[in-house]
Structure 1
Amino acid sequence: MSNLEAHPVEMDCGGEPDPGIEVIGARKVPLGGPRAMLVSRTLPTRDRSMIGAWCFADHYGPDDVAATGGMRVLPHPHTGLQTVSWLFTGEIEHTDSAGVHAMVRPGELNLMSAGHGISHSEVSTPETTVLHGMQLWVALPDVARHGPTGFQFHAPEPVALPGGVVRVFIGSLGGASSPVETATPLLGAEVIVDAGATLALEVDPAFEHGLVLDTPALNFCEVGLEHADLGYAGPGRTELVLHNPRTEPARAILLGGEPFDEDLVMWWNFVGRTHEEIQEYREQWEARDERFGTVAGWTQDHRIPAPPLPNARLRPRKRPH
């Protein structure tokens, strides 16, 4: 997915996060177009730019495609990151400049590695009436960010636990492990908490964790979350306790990872390390440089132009200590 903000701000990851519980409310961001499908963005923010290597989190839907036009994200570039697509409802067609054509469907992970540079498009299919899911980005460490592009697919089986069900699409949780390869230790899972139930999850104490709530209410380590909120728990916890106070099941996406110890600059669809790198990526995209290739099925005029760089120099911003 592209960041379609007209004036995107730069973001940085570095330093050690606070080990306490935080609640981050989502901000609404339009995906563009006359009817503008809206997404709820909880990463990055000025207060919390990353969770492990997870550096971007958009939650969207349930979205009535007849009213909004659904998702139609034209070819756009990425560097230095991996995109992670996870749907609850609907279907999205993914096409990228590495020659990959794939359908994103509910319960199936699609992970694209941008590496040194890639471009792709994402369009909801004509059969989709309701679109509902999450789009996530993972920052690649310096040793991997200039590597080749790649694509991974995984359809995790549901694992029943006392109080709920988990589907682990990255990492390990609840006795289940994903075969998906990542450049840093990560966790990504869909979590269902039964009505009125409590679900206790054993987790790696070296990880920091974030829980994005898809349904109306859930208590995360005794802190209340509302729809689209992100609850953050710092490293040091061996257990995360989720309690559903409602009479219907609750659903959330759990993200985790070791704190990312590299300073980076994130602007628009690029992850780099310096202002000069970001400037170069932008210029190359606008010049239709071969770094980003071409996406089959689109003409040269079908692309998202890069927004102008801010007047100020892009500088890393530290995470809270």
Structure 2
Amino acid sequence: MSNTEQAPEALRCTPPPGAAAGVEVLEPREVPLGGPRALLVRRTIPQRARTLIGAWCFADHYGPVAVPATGGMDVAPHPHTGLQTVSWLFSGEIEHRDSLGTHALIRPGEMNLMTGGRGIAHSEVSTPDTTVVHGVQLWVALPEADRHADRDFQHHVPGPVRIDGAELRVFLGSLAGSASPVRTFTPLLGAQIDLDPHATITLDVDAGYEHGVLVDAGEVRLDGTALRRAELGYAAPGTAALTLVNDADAPARLILLGGPPFEEEIVMWWNFIARTHDEIVEARDEWEAATDRFGAVEGYPGDRLPAPPLPNAVIMPRRNPLPPKRTDDRASEPVVRRVDAELLYEIAIDGARAGLTAYRDRGDQRIFYHTEVDSSFARKGLAATLVEQALLDARAAGKRIVPVCPYVARFVKRHPEFADATDQVSPQVLHWLEVELG
């Protein structure tokens, strides 16, 4: 599935009052896929509170929606890099075509897994006989060693496994004695769980994994924390069992995701996963130029999806926020460093990026144009520390400071010790910066 958002945003969500320790509730946001009769999906990851669960980096939940009312799903050929896509339906039927030459149907209870690697293109269209579409679309980030892997497509129909109070279909990894034969590049768990009315089940899981429970139907409790439909409950590593409770008179259905924490930073934009801004730009340019990197999708009756415009800023890496405070209740001192490959300064705590200030060099001028600090680190004075160290470094390198960024401008105004190294923001500078950022 293509991510057709033109202006993605991220929300920070926290567990509701009284939530059980270790369970974080992520609320979905609605995203339209397509044109005037767009199919609305509910996206729970990525968001600012949580970028990944294991290597799972994208989760869209959609339907049930009537096809005559919405036009169904019709996603034209579009590209992917650095990921695997996992398609799983509860109802309906979707036709899949890709540049590997695959022509397959996605049906309820049948998993299709496509590997993009260096580049692949595919289309997804609900079939003419489909009256309702309902399912999830999931992405998996590929690790550094395998992110340029060859294109691949796998299909698997997991058999149902009955345990007391629930039925499971394990499409990736292993759970409750059922194992999927599907190949992945990192350890993963993916399963549909249907809970009987008033059922309570406890599942033995890998304590090294983090887990997510996405509720499709009904309401459940994950280790005591209530989850409503379309919400995703996150459980950190360290537990060897998950308890799921359905208190209602009707069945509940959920998707369980898991995997060991994915330690690499990734850059996500549109349908690409990379490691740097420049790799994203390169992939977009090659898609727009119709190079053979992504191949061609045969049999789709229409044009390819054009890539949206790139943002006027450096696309920043994503990683999960820091875990809860360490047992000694102390955090490392913040570290500010210049990241030449990304043209920015970052401030990091315990190795995780907490904020950044981006710049461009124009001759002997260093133009600071954007500063941000993750909301989870707000009100800790990190922005001031970051900007002060960045300006000191720029001055030591013989650069003139140009404070286009409003925060940097305010900082310079409050700290006259930088006045002798600061240039005014001129129309010429603004025009140059606009051209430089595209």
TM, length-normalised to structure 2:
0.70
* TM superposition shift of 1:297: 1.4
Matches within 5 A, 1:30-179: 30-179=32-181
Please give the secondary structure, in 2, of the residue aligned with 1:214: strand
Corresponding residue number in structure 1 for 2:343: none
Corresponding residue number in structure 2 for 1:226: 228
* Whole-Å separation in 2 of the counterparts to 1:150 and 1:297: 19
Q: CA RMSD in A?
A: 1.2
Query: Are 1:9 and 1:267, in contact at CA under 8 Å, matched by a contact in 2?
Result: no
Please give the secondary structure, in 2, of the residue aligned with 1:143: helix
Corresponding residue number in structure 2 for 1:270: 272
Deviation string, structure 1 residues 10-40 (Cα, Å, up to 9, x no partner): 9xxxxxxxx8210001100011122111000
| Matching of residue 212 in structure 1 with residue 243 in structure 2 | no
* TM superposition shift of 1:241: 0.3
* Whole-Å separation in 2 of the counterparts to 1:98 and 1:135: 20
Query: What is the number of equivalent residue pairs in this alignment?
Result: 312
Please give the secondary structure, in 1, of the residue aligned with 2:59: strand
Corresponding residue number in structure 1 for 2:2: 2
Please give the secondary structure, in 1, of the residue aligned with 2:144: coil
* TM superposition shift of 1:189: 0.1
Deviation beyond 2 Å, 4+ runs, structure 1: 7-10
* Whole-Å separation in 1 of the counterparts to 2:318 and 2:58: 15
* TM superposition shift of 1:314: 1.2
* TM superposition shift of 1:199: 1.1
| Matching of residue 310 in structure 1 with residue 316 in structure 2 | no
Corresponding residue number in structure 1 for 2:320: 319
* Whole-Å separation in 2 of the counterparts to 1:261 and 1:306: 29
Please give the secondary structure, in 1, of the residue aligned with 2:198: coil
Query: Any stretches of 5+ residues in structure 1 without a counterpart?
Result: 11-18
Corresponding residue number in structure 2 for 1:16: none
Query: Are 1:210 and 1:231, in contact at CA under 8 Å, matched by a contact in 2?
Result: yes
Q: Which amino acid aligns with 1:4?
A: T
* TM superposition shift of 1:162: 1.4
* TM superposition shift of 1:7: 2.3
Larger radius of gyration: 2
Query: Are 1:203 and 1:239, in contact at CA under 8 Å, matched by a contact in 2?
Result: yes
Query: Are 1:8 and 1:267, in contact at CA under 8 Å, matched by a contact in 2?
Result: no
Structure with higher helix content: 2
Please give the secondary structure, in 1, of the residue aligned with 2:206: coil
Q: Which amino acid aligns with 1:307?
A: P
Q: Which amino acid aligns with 1:2?
A: S
* Whole-Å separation in 2 of the counterparts to 1:317 and 1:54: 13
Please give the secondary structure, in 1, of the residue aligned with 2:145: coil
* TM superposition shift of 1:318: 3.4
Work out which structure has the larger RCO, using CA pairs closer than 8 Å and 6 or more positions apart in sequence: 1
Query: Are 2:268 and 2:318, in contact at CA under 8 Å, matched by a contact in 1?
Result: no
* TM superposition shift of 1:298: 3.4
